[in-house]
Amino acid sequence: MITIRHLMFSRPHGEFAMNIPRLTVDRGESVVLTGPSGSGKTTLLDLAAGILQAESGSIIVDGQDLTAMTEPRRRSFRLRRIGLVFQSFELIEYLSVIDNVLLPARISPEVILDSELRSRAARLLECAGLDRLQRRSVTQLSQGEQQRVAVCRALLMEPTLLLADEPTGNLDPDNSRRIMDLLLDQVRRMNTTLLAVTHDHTMLSRFDRALKFQDLLVSEQNPAEADRAS
């Protein structure tokens, strides 16, 4: 479902560089990455979402190579197929809770925002424990509530790939469980692929596989990795 090969990416001015020889996550599989802050986990998810452009290598999602697409095609592919939970939520401040959840439908030209989608959004908010907050401005929510809105938004379009950056990072244990239930329900029902990042070690056992981000990288200590991947 997602296959990464020989992926190289660096920030301008040489402050950060990343080299991932190989990563594969199967359809319907849930994989979680852990690792130190600043190591590049968010950068990897942004590359997998086609938000950032790789310097070289391939990122194949559902048979299509993101690195070979133009920016408009990547954007349209992302809107249709990928659900994203950003570490910083990226909610739209002037929209209500429900309108934030409906945003992917609003901005996809080929999607019609019908009553089915509206009730799906309402149902997701109910599952996330937010049904009473539907009409509220997202600026009047706690961090944890905003995070749950971001998860509902990522699930609206029933994506084939779900990328979740510390999706329970601001939640108490009960809400963390609830949000993990919601994410994994999507994985089971739709055979969605889930690639997540977490610092919450109590959540690791809920995923099919837990990987240390550092183990994916080619480093000076670990140059043999590049050969093994080919």
Q: How far is the CB of 109 from ligand ADP (least distance, A)?
A: 28
**Site membership for ligand ADP, residue 34 (CB under 6 A):** no
CA dist 135 and 218 (Å) reads 47
Place of tokens 């990042």: 197
Q: In what order do the strands lie in the sheet with 209-212?
A: 82-85, 161-165, 193-197, 30-34, 209-212
* x/- map, 42-81, ligand ADP, by CB under 6 A: xx--------------------------------------
**Which residue, 41 or 74, is less far from Mg ion as judged by CB?**
41
**Which residue, 37 or 115, is less far from ligand ADP as judged by CB?**
37
DSSP letter for each residue of 55-114: SEEEEEETTEEGGGS-HHHHHHHHHHHEEEE-TT----TTSBHHHHHTHHHHH-TT----
Q: How far is the CB of 52 from Mg ion (least distance, A)?
A: 13
Q: Is 23 helix (H, G, I), strand (E, B) or coil?
A: strand
Cα dist from 34 to 116, 121, 198, 211, 220, whole Å: 37, 30, 6, 6, 20
- The piece of 8-16, 94-102, 139-147, 178-186 that touches ligand ADP (CB under 6 A) is 8-16
Identify whether the C-beta of residue 196 lies closer than 8 Å to the C-beta of residue 18.
Answer: no
First vs last C-alpha separation in the chain:
19
**Site membership for ligand ADP, residue 206 (CB under 6 A):** no
CA dist 49 and 188 (Å) reads 21
Please state at what angle helix 143-155 crosses helix 115-127, rounded to 10 degrees: 140
Please count the residues of this chain forming the interface with ligand ADP, following the rule CB under 6 A.
Answer: 10
**Which residue, 97 or 196, is less far from ligand ADP as judged by CB?**
196
**Which residue, 12 or 109, is less far from ligand ADP as judged by CB?**
12
* x/- map, 78-97, Mg ion, by CB under 5 A: ---------x----------
Identify whether the C-beta of residue 19 lies closer than 8 Å to the C-beta of residue 217.
Answer: yes
**Site membership for ligand ADP, residue 214 (CB under 6 A):** no
Rule CB under 6 A: choose which of 37, 142, 205, 221 binds ligand ADP.
Answer: 37
**Site membership for Mg ion, residue 42 (CB under 5 A):** yes
**Site membership for ligand ADP, residue 11 (CB under 6 A):** yes
**Which residue, 5 or 41, is less far from Mg ion as judged by CB?**
41
Give the binding site for ligand ADP (CB under 6 A): 11, 15-16, 37-43
What residue ranges bind Mg ion (CB under 5 A)?
41-42, 87
